[in-house]
Amino acid sequence: MDGQENKIKWNERIKIKDLKDKTGQIHSLTGWVFFTRKSGNIRFIGLRDGSGKIQGVLVKEEVDQATYDLFTRLKQETCIQMSGIVQESKRNRFGVEILVKEIEIISISENFPITPKEHGTDFLLSNRHLWLRSSRQLALFNIRNKVIQGMRDFFAQHDFVQMDSPILTQNVGEDPKGLFNLSYFDLGEAYLAQTGQLYLEASIFAHGNVFCFGPTFRAEKSKTRRHLTEFWMLEAEMAFMDNVDNMDVQEDLIRFVITKVLDECSWHLKELERDVEALKGCMEPFIRLSYDEAVVILQNKGAKINWGDDLGATDETLLTGDSLVPVFVYDYPKKAKAFYMKENPLNPKTVKCADLLAPEGYGEIIGGSQREDSEEKLVSRILEVGLPIEPYQWYVDLRRYGSVKHSGFGIGLERLVGWICGIHHIRETIPFPRMMERVYP
RNA sequence: UCCCCGAUAACUCAGUUGGUAGAGUAGGCGGCUGUUAACCGCCCUGUCGCAAGUUCGAGUCUUGCUCGGGGAGCCA
């Protein structure tokens, strides 16, 4: 015997969220104290366990003196087991409460730095390991989790196969300055991948439609609310699809994910004080503007943009305007985009690509394109932009064995979550953000 | 990389024409039989980012440095 005969099986332990229909029953809960309060001979203990929050009521006549006195040791974040009778309560925000009979302190906590009062960004980020426990962060990461689940569900329903790409690579990508490099044994320099796209393209010839999801690294010295040096990107690649199919898939995916979040995370959205009406804008058909049209619209609004320039952050905000409907901008100038994008047969100065701009000033959340499927054109583009051909030989090779029209896109998860949650700076949407000025904790 | 702003108690901040620092919160003690960021009373809290300079005297003025924030470019 192991002395644990009475142990409750891991998946049968009661959670705070399960207590609503258990009034009158005696239950034992484990969790962390998030507030205490006393008033005369009645004392309150706020307990959270990740599934929810509840209040325990400690009444002097209901418990022995030792238990009653234990209250003074319950500081914020003390880990306890609290047992008692579940009872209905209309006097607090939890609906039910526990009339406490027993308390066991599992582990003490003293002077927890993050209080329910105000804190600055620097302080919170330096205490990120503790900040994650707060209500807003809890809501945020539950939604992030739901977004990831939603994307996976969508791809599963449409028979996409997950084919993850390597993080260590020798492909330079678009901008050598944006790469983190490291020495790779005797084989010289390797880099942390900026994208899995090229590898994903190889997989479409095996599976047709594929996706990958993993961290991506950019060493760009960007200091904005929309940049991280390490972020999570979901990328998809589809055989036989042109750039219009590509936009259709993206639109369906985003709508699917938003619907799921609205249906299943309303409580978390409320905690974040997110205006859900704003999210319902994506139930409308997305607006699709060609780059040419976008430039005209921007010029009419007084923006200093010339044909050929990439869109800036303010341009993106101007384009989405007051509308709550996401906007695709397609067929950008070739010189503003990456070498692998397919040249537009109708206008060779442009490529068949599309960026999806989220409304409310959140800006670009997806970048996608139809890929160059001609070996000849791809090689000339690689040379044209001045990249070495050797590391891309395998990629070019794909165009020699049954090349096919294909398209794909990449979603920046933190940007998507930032928009859905109405979070200003995306550093809050990843558990441990990595930025130019911060790698701790 | 460029432009702008900041650094004072554990946290958020105030600090007058230069005269050895103050509030709220947190923490400690006490009060109140139902608290919701409770309330009331008392107590505690300092390398004023670092270094130099001006001055009888610097949190305050000057210079340099460090760290952080906001924005731009670039991108997802």
* Nearest amino-acid residue to B25, taking CA and C1': A117
**Would you kindly state where each structural domain of chain A is located, as residue ranges?**
10-107, 129-429
What CATH number was assigned to the domain covering residues A10-107?
2.40.50.140
* Nearest amino-acid residue to B24, taking CA and C1': A117
Mean pLDDT along residues A137-160: 97
Q: CA A72 → CA A30, A60, A66, A83, A105, distances in Å?
A: 18, 13, 11, 18, 12
Q: CA A203 → CA A270, A375, A390, distances in Å?
A: 41, 17, 20
Question: A261-270, A337-346, A384-393, A408-417: which has the minimum mean pLDDT?
Answer: A384-393
| Distance in angstroms (rounded) separating the CA atoms of residues A46 and A291 | 54
List the one residue out of A341, A336, A345, A410 whose CA is nearest residue A371.
A341
CA angle centred on A124, ends A269 and A418, rounded to 5°: 35
| pLDDT tens-digit readout, A330-350 | 999 998 899 999 999 999 999
Separation in Å: B76 C1' and A346 CA: 28
Instruction: Note whether A55 and A44 are within 8 A (CB).
Output: yes
Mark the nucleotides of strand B covered by protein, meaning any atom under 7 Å from a CB: 1-2, 10-13, 24-29, 31-38, 67-76
* Nearest amino-acid residue to B67, taking CA and C1': A437
Instruction: Note whether A58 and A68 are within 8 A (CB).
Output: yes
Separation in Å: B33 C1' and A417 CA: 45
A366: the nucleotide nearest its CA (via C1') is: B76
Residues 6+ apart with CB under 8 A from A315: A294, A298, A303, A305
Q: Residue A4: which pLDDT band, with cuts at 50, 70 and 90?
A: confident
A78 pLDDT exceeds 60? yes
The ipTM estimated for the assembled molecules is: 0.89
* Nearest amino-acid residue to B37, taking CA and C1': A116
* Alpha-carbon torsion (A126, A130, A135, A139), positive or negative: positive
Q: What percent of chain A has pLDDT over 90?
A: 70
**Torsion on CA atoms A401, A403, A404, A408, rounded to nearest 10:** 100
pLDDT the model gives residue A261 = 97
Instruction: Note whether A159 and A143 are within 8 A (CB).
Output: no
| pLDDT tens-digit readout, A265-313 | 999 999 999 999 999 999 999 999 999 999 999 999 888 888 998 898 8
A111: the nucleotide nearest its CA (via C1') is: B27
pLDDT the model gives residue A416 = 96
CA angle centred on A54, ends A48 and A57, rounded to 5°: 120
pLDDT the model gives residue A93 = 67
List the one residue out of A121, A124, A137 whose CA is nearest residue A34.
A137
Quickly count: other Cβ atoms within 10 Å of residue A24's Cβ.
8
Separation in Å: B60 C1' and A120 CA: 24
pLDDT the model gives residue A290 = 95
What CATH number was assigned to the domain covering residues A129-429?
3.30.930.10
| pLDDT tens-digit readout, A90-140 | 766 668 999 999 999 999 998 899 988 889 888 999 999 999 999 999 999
* Nearest amino-acid residue to B26, taking CA and C1': A115
Strands A168-169 and A161-162: unpaired
| pLDDT tens-digit readout, A6-52 | 788 999 999 999 998 899 999 999 999 999 998 888 899 999 999 99
Q: Residue A3: which pLDDT band, with cuts at 50, 70 and 90?
A: low
